[in-house]
Amino acid sequence: MMIRGIIKINKFIMLQKIKNILGSIRFWIATLTASLAILEAISVGTITIQYVFEVAQIWLAAVVAIGTLDSVAVKFGEAKAKK
């Protein structure tokens, strides 16, 4: 029973994090930039699967960094508001 409660809490937290990152302008800028890089490679004719994976790796690292920065900013804002 307790495990189910923990799973529900974790699901809620993860859904909240996904909602927050989808609402972040920085996320959409990183996504648009990655999409444009792939589209440019397609239009030039130099697209390879390795290139797509490299762009995906950079995009994923950027998304993780954005999520971390947003999380720290929220926590910093909450700490500052308590003072």
Into how many domains does the chain fold? 1
Average pLDDT, the chain: 84
Asked if residue 49 belongs to a domain, the reply is yes
Query: Which band of pLDDT confidence, cut at 50, 70 and 90, is reported for residue 31?
Result: very high
Give the structural domain span for 29: 24-82
Confidence (pTM): 0.70
Asked if residue 7 belongs to a domain, the reply is no
Q: Which of 42, 38, 39, 44 minimizes the C-alpha distance to 58?
A: 38
Query: Which band of pLDDT confidence, cut at 50, 70 and 90, is reported for residue 58?
Result: very high
Whole-angstrom CA distances from 62 to 4, 21, 44, 67, 77 are 32, 12, 25, 9, 22
The reported pLDDT for the residue numbered 2 is 58
The answer, yes or no, to whether residue 32 has pLDDT greater than 90, is yes
Asked if residue 28 belongs to a domain, the reply is yes
